[in-house]
Amino acid sequence: MALIVQKYGGTSVGNTDRIQNVARRVAEHRGRGDQVVVVVSAMSGVTDGLIKLAKQITPLPSEREMDMLLATGEQQTIALAAIALHARGVPAVSLTGAQAGIVTDGVHTKAKIQNITPDEVHRLLDAGNVVIVAGFQGQTEEGQITTLGRGGSDLTAIAMAAALKADLCQIYTDVDGVYTSDPRLAPSARKLPEISYDEMLELAGSGAKVMQLRSVEFAKKFNVVFEVRSSLNDNPGTIVKEETTSMEDVVVRGVSIDKNQAEVTVEGVPDRPGSAARIFKSLADAAINVDMIVQNVSHDGGSRVTDISFTVDKPDLLKASSVIDGLMPELGIRGFATDEGIAKLSIVGVGMRSHSGVAARMFEILAEHGVNIGMISTSEIKVSVVIPLADGDRALKAVHEAFIG
């Protein structure tokens, strides 16, 4: 008898037909003798509808009250899912995040799980029930309702799997699993049977939209093996787990592109200690997320100056420009330029550690296709380059073909 945690996202529970479909799938697992914990999101559209109501009242509603409001979405789904299981003759009990023992810190709208006391979940499982837990939410020690922010339901599932020492955690979504690339851009892209946490993290961090980073980080930290698979069919998905030796045989696991970045180049920054720190601290204070950073030292006449380039999310570009503009007098910056017409192309694979020349090969492929490289940034298992947005799709296809086929 295995203990399985299954998570179903908003699309998978988007209406009562789909909720009944989830119940059918859960009932099948239970019919095999497994214990099943189901984590669900709000029905698709419900959360957006509630946000819209709040925004009708004021553009910046209180975060505590938004948690109070939004937590109702998942609470509705758990009740309906339990009702759908009952209708199939399967005993089931729904639990809010608080009832399931999920304790978070008090940072409303983006709370962190501090601990899970799954006594009630165990008790209900042992009594023969399917237990349905509201994703995305928890409660502080003081009894305040909190939500976990984007990707919160995945996090609930993975944290619950860790706390319950589950045998398997399945993340049901509207895609079949993790692909070597976006099949719409690289027609030969194929589903990966398995991928390491680190590769998944690098892919998620470089534009692949399967899961939020924090859930994968949590799974890696607590060594929770999980499977990403579709709720619309019975195809096996992609297993995400600690890397194995055999994984290193594959040099490039995936190729991703992020078209949502913009580039800022700060020119002629006097090469004094603390200049870069001042720039990126100011950006962080303005809640601007900086991705790639590249710095080159150059000589401008007699004094040493540097050019610093970095990328930010496109919607943050205006804010970033105004931050840099404000720093110019203080730091003695010569000027800065911005470019929205870029894309970040990345290759990811743990095999890079043991295979040399991977970055060089990527640059070569791009050169062969006449794609100009702007910034370059490498990690142990990733190479990212900034290229012109207009060349993005073509470059991704070429790199995918060369490395993966």
Residues contributing to the site for its own copies (CB under 8 A): 16, 19-20, 50, 53-54, 56-58, 61-62, 64-66, 68-69, 71-73, 75-76, 78-80, 82-84, 86-87, 93-94, 96, 99, 143, 145
Cβ proximity to its own copies: between 78 and 240 the closer is 78
**Minimal distance in Å, beta carbon 28 to its own copies?**
18
Give the integer Cα–Cα distance in Å for 157 and 5. 7
CB of 140 to its own copies, least distance (A): 12
Largest CA distance in the chain: 82
Residue placing its CB nearer to its own copies in the complex, 69 or 210: 69
In this complex, which beta carbon is closest to its own copies, that of residue 83 or of residue 373? 83
Among residues 21, 224, 215, the alpha carbon closest in space to that of 136 is found at 215
Shortest approach of its own copies to residue 61 CB, angstroms?
4
Q: Residue 266 in contact with residue 256, Cβ under 8 Å? A: no
In whole angstroms, what is the distance from residue 186 CA to residue 280 CA? 35
Q: How many CB atoms neighbour CB 358 within 10 A? A: 20
Nearer Cβ to its own copies (75/170): 75
Considering the complex, state which of residue 54 and residue 294 has its C-beta at the smaller distance from its own copies. Answer: 54
- Which residue lies nearer to its own copies by CB, 134 or 219? 134
Confirm if 238 and 227 have CB atoms less than 8 A apart: yes
Complex with its own copies: residue 61 or 149, whichever CB lies closer: 61
- Buried b or exposed e, range 85-108, using 16+ CB within 10 angstroms: beeeebebbbbbbbbbbbbbeeeb
Planar angle of CA 170, 171, 173, nearest 5 degrees: 135
Q: Which amino acid is at 143?
A: G
Toward its own copies, which CB reaches closer, 60 or 277? 60
Euclidean distance between CA atoms 265 and 260, whole angstroms: 17
Closest CB to its own copies among residues 68, 239: 68
Q: Among 166, 157, 130, which Cα is nearest to 2's?
A: 166
Asked if 261 and 342 touch (Cβ cutoff 8 Å), the reply is yes
Chain centre to alpha carbon of residue 277 = 27
In the bound complex, what is the minimum distance in angstroms from residue 126's beta carbon to its own copies? 17
Place of tokens 């490395």: 403
Contacts for 397 with CB less than 8 Å, ≥ 6 apart = 185, 186, 187
Residue 97: CB minimum distance to its own copies, A: 13
Q: What is the CA radius of gyration of the chain?
A: 24
Q: What are phi and psi of 194, to 5 degrees?
A: -150, 160
In the complex, least distance from residue 68 CB atom to its own copies, rounded to whole angstroms: 4
CB of 98 to its own copies, least distance (A): 8
Q: How far is the CB of 99 from its own copies (least distance, A)?
A: 6
Measured from the CB of residue 69, what is the shortest distance to its own copies in angstroms? 4
